[in-house]
Amino acid sequence: MEITAVIMAGGRGTRIREINFDTPKPMIPLLGKPVLQYEIESLKKQGLTDIVLVIGYLGNQIISYFGNGKDFGVNIRYIEEKEPLGTAGSLFFLKNNVSKDFLLLNGDNIFNVDINRFYQRHKKNNCLATILTHPNNHPYDSGVIVADKNNLVIKWMSKEEPRLWYRNRVNAGIHFLSSKILDKFIEPKKTNLDREVLEPLIAEKQLFIYDSSEYIKDMGTPDRYYQVIEDLKNNKPERKNLSYKQKAIFLDRDGTINKYVGFLKNIDDFELLPGVSNAIKLINQSDYLVIVVTNQPVVARGDVTFDQLNEIHNKMETLLGKEGAYLDGLYFCPHHPDKGFEGEIPELKIDCDCRKPKPGMLLKAAKDFNIDLSQSWMVGDENSDIECGKNAGCKTCLLHEKANDIVPDLLQKDLLSFVSSIFKR
Render pLDDT for 373-392 as a digit per residue (tens, 0 to 9): 999 999 999 999 999 999 99
Section 126-132 average pLDDT: 97
Would the pLDDT of 279 be above 90? yes
Q: What per-residue confidence (pLDDT) applies to 16?
A: 58
Sorting pLDDT into bands at 50, 70 and 90, what band is 372? very high
Section 107-111 average pLDDT: 91
Q: What per-residue confidence (pLDDT) applies to 269?
A: 98
Q: What per-residue confidence (pLDDT) applies to 283?
A: 98
Sorting pLDDT into bands at 50, 70 and 90, what band is 13? low
User: Which residues of the chain are in CATH 3.40.50.1000 domains?
Assistant: 245-423
Measure the CA–CA gap between 296 and 301, rounded to whole angstroms.
9
User: Which residues of the chain are in CATH 3.90.550.10 domains?
Assistant: 4-231
Residue type, 82: K
Q: What per-residue confidence (pLDDT) applies to 17?
A: 55
Helix, strand, coil shares of the chain, percent, nearest 5, are 35, 25, 45
Q: What per-residue confidence (pLDDT) applies to 68?
A: 97
Q: What per-residue confidence (pLDDT) applies to 22?
A: 74
Q: What angle do CA 373, 376, 379 make, to 5 degrees?
A: 120
Helix (H, G, I), strand (E, B) or coil at 406: coil
Section 284-301 average pLDDT: 97
Q: What per-residue confidence (pLDDT) applies to 219?
A: 76
CATH code of domain 4-231: 3.90.550.10
Cβ count near 79 (within 10 Å): 22
Measure the CA–CA gap between 328 and 397, rounded to whole angstroms.
20
Name the percent of the chain lying above pLDDT 90: 83
Section 106-127 average pLDDT: 95
| Residue-wise pLDDT tens digits, 163-173 | 899 999 999 99
Q: Which residues are catalytic?
A: 252, 254
Helical pair 276-284 and 415-423, crossing angle rounded to 10 deg = 30
Task: For domain 245-423, give the fold.
Answer: Rossmann fold (3.40.50)
pTM over 0.75: yes
Sorting pLDDT into bands at 50, 70 and 90, what band is 11? low
Sorting pLDDT into bands at 50, 70 and 90, what band is 19? low
Please confirm whether the linkage preceding 357 is cis (ω < 30° from 0). Answer: yes
Range of weakest confidence among 62-76, 185-199, 219-233, 303-317: 219-233
State the chain's mean pLDDT as an integer. 93
Q: Of 309, 314, 271, 290, whose CA–CA distance to 371 is shortest?
A: 290
Q: What per-residue confidence (pLDDT) applies to 71?
A: 97
Q: Of 5, 199, 208, 211, whose CA–CA distance to 100 is shortest?
A: 5
Q: What per-residue confidence (pLDDT) applies to 98?
A: 84
Sorting pLDDT into bands at 50, 70 and 90, what band is 43? very high
Measure the CA–CA gap between 124 and 386, rounded to whole angstroms.
36
Section 47-57 average pLDDT: 93
Sorting pLDDT into bands at 50, 70 and 90, what band is 57? confident
